[in-house]
């Protein structure tokens, strides 16, 4: 089965932080990470593969926040509601199935 390859771009990074900071057109159902980034003033996409994070004041621990496993990047072309049901990632794994209200044992 061939997979559609969609590039991971700086625009996806900017859209993600605009979403987290409530600066974008979409909204998260629960935005638990917003308080982590209250020092983040703006994210700018500089071409296809580079972004600039502008902080309100110096924050050495900021790199740890964006490197955290909970700081996922969302693809701009997929809404947060769609990501909850059919997540898209950049790694080697492919999402296969979602069964609401079921857990694995």
Ordered by start, the domain boundaries in the chain are: 10-85
pLDDT for the residue 39: 96
pTM, entire model: 0.77
pLDDT for the residue 104: 66
Contact 49, 11 (CB under 8 A): no
23 or 52, greater pLDDT: 52
pLDDT for the residue 90: 73
In sequence order, what E strands does the chain have? 40-45, 51-55
User: Mean of the pLDDT values across residues 70-78?
Assistant: 83
41 or 85, greater pLDDT: 41
């Amino acid at each position: 089965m061939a997979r559609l390859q969609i590039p991971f771009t700086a625009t996806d990074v900017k859209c993600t932080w605009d979403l987290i900071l409530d600066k974008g057109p979409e909204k998260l159902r629960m935005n638990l990470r917003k308080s982590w980034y209250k020092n983040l003033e703006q994210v700018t996409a500089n071409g296809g593969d580079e972004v600039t994070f502008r902080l309100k004041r110096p924050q050495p621990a900021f790199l740890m926040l964006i490197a955290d496993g909970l700081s996922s990047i969302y693809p701009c072309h997929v809404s947060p509601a769609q990501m909850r049901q059919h997540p898209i990632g950049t790694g080697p794994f492919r999402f296969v199935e979602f069964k609401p209200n079921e857990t694995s044992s």
